[in-house]
Each structure stands twice: as C-alpha cells, then as structure tokens.
Amino acid sequence: MEVREAEAFLAVSEELHFGRAAGRLNMAQPPLSRLIRQLEKKLGTRLFDRSTRTVKLTPAGSALIDPAQQLLEVSRDARDIVASAVSGDTGTVRIGFAGASINHTIGQLARELRQTHPRVKLEFHGSQFSPTGLNRVVDGTLDLAFGRWDFIPAELDSHVVALETPLVALPARHRLADQSAIRISDLAQEHWIVLPGGFGSALHNRLTTLTRAAGFVPKITQTAPDSWTLVILVAAEMGCALTLDSVRDNISTPGAVFRPLAGHQEPLEVRMIWRRDDPSAALRNVIDAAQSLLPDPWAQESS
C-alpha cells in the first residue's frame, strides 16, 4: 500500500462518503474511486460495501485502518526528519579542541546550543592539539576544531574566537620567578617542556621564533601530552615552558608561576576552523551560534 492510497482509504473510511472524502483530499471523486479500486485489486479483497446510498467498511477494511494510520505516521515522521536535517535543526556535529585553555569557550558554546538547537547532537573530542585538529577537519573525521594555527589550508574557513597572550611558566623556586617580566634570552640555558607540535602549530612556532631571535635553540627535554601535565612538570622543576594566559587562568598548580615576556608580544589567535564546502546545515547553525557568541576580538578592538 502506497502513502497516497493509505490517505485515500482513511479519508473514505472516516467519511463513509466518496464525495466528502474527495473534497477533503482536494481531488475529484472519480480519481478517488479509482484509487480505492486499485488498492482493493492490489490487496485482493473489497474494503468497502457500496450502495447508491451508503458506504460501509468490510471486515477487511476495518482491519486495514491501523496499518494505514501507521504508514501515514511513518511517512510524516520521515518528512519531519528530512525537513529538520535540511534546516539544521537535527544532525551531529563533531567538535575538536585542545584542552584546558579552551574549556571555558567550549562550555559556553555547548550551553548556548543546548538552548537554541536542542536536537543537534554535539560530539566533543578533547586533546585535539592544533595540528591534529586541523588534519582531522581536512580529512572529515571532525567537522569543527578550535585551536591556534599560523597557516590554514585554502579548503578551510575560519573565525577568530579569542586572543591569547604568551607567557613563560617557571618553577616557583626558579632564579627568575620573582621578576615581573622575563627576557627570553635569559632562558637560553634552561630545559624546555613543550606540547606536541607540528606544521602550523602557532604556540610551537612562536617558541621557535622567540628563541631564534634571541640567538639560541631551545633544549627541549619533555613533550607533555596536555597543558595540565605541562604545568605539573614545570612545578616539579623539570624545566620551563612557553604557555598562554588562558592556561594560567584555567590551571592552578602549586609550585608553578606564570610571568609575561619582556617587550611587546603579539597575541596568538584562537580560531574555529571548518571545511568550506561542508554541506551540513547543522554545522552551519553551530558556526552561526559560535560567531554570534564569540565575535571576532579584532573587530571589537577596531570598533
């Protein structure tokens, strides 16, 4: 039984009058009669007893009411699901982010989307450092990623969501811990702890740029898996680290101090990236919500 046949059958079964049923369906009576005869032929039995004055359901017709209603409900559900997917009201969006430094931003976005798009499923993937997050957006295993990149491939779009200030994390008993600002050249002989780096990683590239300008190559002795571990290793006097004010604001570890670098320091941009040709309406809704919630700070500074 097709959906239009189910609609025709139910209209006649409820009205018990072909003329009224045809009017309800916005069609002429002869095509409606043909639809019912076609359905009866397909099922091999009469669904209605007809006379010049009355139309009555046969036992077979009565038995068909529930299946016909279920078919219509399934059809309506399918239309609603497709319409919701097209509008972006439903769908799944996979979001990658690095960790502690972006947690507050991710929490804000999740709360906003829960209010505005409750049927969009958000899958959050933590510990996606910038190179990994970028690669996973490019290959399609993530839809959206937050991180810091000095280079973004042409097939991706991006939006700046925050500006972060680079800082130096030092052991609390370090000889320079009491200084108000640290010259990078004073750390030439130190051991350095870094996060996983890679092509386009802005924080890793900034360390390289700073130390090269100061005339030395950093002695990297530890690669921490995340910012929490990095700060713990600094507190354990395993070395110093270049980090960010967002890490300082989100991670408190006794034994580690954070100091600004001497001289003017350009902020690092935290960006949201996505594939330019991604057709997902749900992703578009998430991007729009994020851009509204987290306006470009450069635009705010210039206004």
pLDDT tens, position by position, 246-274? 999 888 789 999 999 999 999 999 999 99
With 0-12 CB in 10 A as exposed, 13-18 as middle and 19+ as buried, what is 98? buried
Give 62-98 pLDDT, tens digit per residue.
999 999 999 888 878 767 666 656 565 778 999 998 7
Strands 120-125 and 191-194: unpaired
If you average pLDDT over residues 136-154, what whole number do you get?
Answer: 93
- Residue 51: pLDDT band (50, 70, 90) is confident
Domain range 166-260, CATH architecture:
3-Layer(aba) Sandwich (3.40)
For 232-247, what is each residue's pLDDT tens digit?
999 999 999 999 999 9
Q: What is the mean pLDDT of the chain?
A: 89
Domain boundaries, the chain: 3-87, 91-162+269-302, 166-260
Confidence label for 198 from pLDDT (cuts 50, 70 and 90): low
Q: The domain 3-87 is classified under which CATH number: 3.40.50.1950, 1.20.1050.140, 3.30.1180.20, 1.10.10.10? A: 1.10.10.10
Both tokens assigned to 44: 């091999």
Q: What is the pTM of this model?
A: 0.71
In whole angstroms, give the CA distance from residue 177 to residue 252.
16
Would you say the CATH fold of 166-260 matches that of 91-162+269-302?
yes
| Reduced 3-state DSSP string for 51-83 | CCCCEEECHHHHHHHHHHHHHHHHHHHHHHHHH
Task: Provide the CATH number for the domain formed by 91-162+269-302 in this structure.
Answer: 3.40.190.10
If you average pLDDT over residues 172-188, what whole number do you get?
A: 96
pLDDT tens per residue, range 208-222? 999 999 999 999 999
Q: Which amino acid is at 39?
A: L
